[in-house]
Structures are given as C-alpha cells and as structure tokens.
Amino acid sequence: MNPEARVKIKTIWISLLLLLGFLFLDRVLFPIALFEFPNELEWDTSPWYNFLHKQRNIRFEKGEKGILVAGSSVALYSAYPQQITDEVRTSNIKDGEKFRAEFYSHPALSPTDLYYYSDDILNKKPELVLYVLNPADLQLDYIQKKNTMKLVSTNKQD
C-alpha cells in the first residue's frame, strides 16, 4: 500500500473515531452530567434548562393521579402546583389524596407548543392537563387602536 493510501485510511479512521467520540459525549455523557443531578436553580435563572430538567423528571407513580399545569412562565405566578395538590387532597373529591400536580411550562408556551409536546404529555399519563391562560400572555398592550387618534384630535378642536 502506498503512503498516500495509508494517510487517507488513517484520516478516515481518525474522523470516524472523533465522530463516535462526539456521539458518545452528546448522547451518553452530557445527558447524565446535565440532568441526573438535582436542579438547584431558581425558575427564572435558566428557564429553558429548568423546563428540560422538569420535562425529563416528571413521573407519576402507578397509584398516583397526575395533574399537569401548563402555560407560559407568566402563568406560573397564577397557579401553584403544590397549592393545587393540597387543595385537591383536602377536598371531598374521590381519591383526592392520590392526586399530585406538576408544572409543565417554559417561557411563552402557547397552545400550539403544547400540542407539539402532546406525545410527551401523554407518555406521562396525567389524569388532567390544565392550561392556564394569563392575560399578560395575550400581549394586549401591542394592539393598536385606530379611533384613538381621531378622539384626541376631536378633543383638541373643542
């Protein structure tokens, strides 16, 4: 075998080994390093990481009935899963003590986004999915009013 062919074969082997090494790091080592340790971050410090961590770790036990509270991160301030769990457990609902609520949200989670997460949500087998719509999510402050200018100009002439 000539020297050029050996260099090409070595290059192919090195490239293949590097590719396999990167795949191993990406698919095996990084998920363990990122998601197997407890998440000690506050919700607003790294919302996308918090969502991915929460998404991977939400599991309802066999005898447990799950409630997924979905919505944008603004909705988090309107609904507290722990409070929902406490209210359901202390109510007169049949098997109320078996319910547990978990928050399933990321910044600007729209109903369309929720649809794209439907496979993941169905795999968690919740009893109820509650979508919280906060008025701040509608961004009403960006709606332009057409008649405002006419009213202002009419008032100035009077």
What confidence tens digit (pLDDT) does each residue in 15-46 have?
Answer: 999 999 999 999 999 888 888 888 887 767 78
14-18, 54-58, 59-63, 82-86 — most confident range: 14-18
Higher pLDDT, 23 or 76: 23
Q: Is residue 119 part of a domain?
A: yes
Q: Is residue 18 part of a domain?
A: no
Q: Is residue 126 part of a domain?
A: yes
**Domain residue limits at 133:** 67-158
Higher pLDDT, 139 or 52: 52
Q: Is the pLDDT of residue 99 over 90?
A: yes
Q: Is the pLDDT of residue 123 over 90?
A: yes
Digit-coded pLDDT (tens) for 133-142: 877 777 777 7
Q: Is residue 96 part of a domain?
A: yes
51-59 contacts: CB < 8 A, separation 24 or more? 51/105, 51/106, 54/102, 54/103, 54/104, 55/104, 55/117, 55/120, 58/102, 58/104, 58/124, 59/124
Does pTM top 0.85 for this prediction?
A: no
Higher pLDDT, 110 or 91: 91
Q: Is residue 77 part of a domain?
A: yes
Q: Is residue 145 part of a domain?
A: yes
Q: What is the mean pLDDT of the chain?
A: 85
pLDDT computed for residue 101 by the predictor? 93
Q: Is residue 97 part of a domain?
A: yes
Q: Is residue 148 part of a domain?
A: yes
Q: What's the structural domain count of the chain? A: 1
